[in-house]
Amino acid sequence: MTEFKDFALTEDDERKYFAPKTWFFWRGIIICFCLFSLVGHWLEIPYCMFMDWAFGVVEDDYDVWTDPLWVPYWVYGVGTAVITLTLFPLKIHIMEQRKTMVGAIIQYFVIAVAACAVLELVLGLIFNQPDATGKYPFWDNSVLPFNIFGQAWLVNDVILGLVSVFYVFVAFPFIQKAFSVIKPRTAHHLFIFVLIFTAFICVLTYVVPLIPDLYDFLT
């Protein structure tokens, strides 16, 4: 009989679950993509509230203030898939080199922050160049403290690094272990439920707004 203690993560669990040649691995990515596309929306609300309070960088008409809570933000789902395929194996490599879990977490965090900063900077230098009036087309970090060449923003990169630490050390390993502990039939049914639920919120997001009366009732 499965007990709660069976779901507890061990150090050995942190070194497992990167198996790209297995359906078990890809099922985990699909589940995380679906779940975090929605959870990412919910987490962005307090994040934007803090950023607006601390730095005043969130516009009043930003979608997060008006979107219903069921609207998925797919960028977060895509982000979990990219992290799983790139940074999760990096975490395993770091753990093999480090003697302690704390040391591995710190090293991974530093690398994750640096990777976020470099990616944001490169994308900004390519796609976010200011026009003749000095206005940036997508984002403007030039007036913020700790900005990097006006494109990347270290505060944002640190937060993304912390989120990445939580995902690779807690969220993904826990989901994978949970699906390995429960019965295969139960795991299959739960996976199907996640897909059906994701399809349902897609209907709410993209089909219901085409029916004004129903959309007004739900919102």
Model pLDDT for residues 62-74, shown as the tens digit of each residue: 889 999 999 999 9
d(CA 109, CA 158): 8
- For residue 105, which amino acid is it? I
Query: Worst-scoring range by mean pLDDT, 4-8, 81-85, 118-122, 177-181?
Result: 4-8
Nearest by Cα to 57 from 192, 178, 171, 147: 147
Question: Tens digits of per-residue pLDDT, 127-183?
Answer: 888 888 878 887 788 888 899 988 899 999 999 999 999 999 999 999 999 999 999
94-110 pLDDT, tens per residue?
A: 999 998 999 999 999 99
Quote the longest CA-to-CA distance of the chain. 68
Q: Residue 26 CA to chain centroid, in angstroms?
A: 17
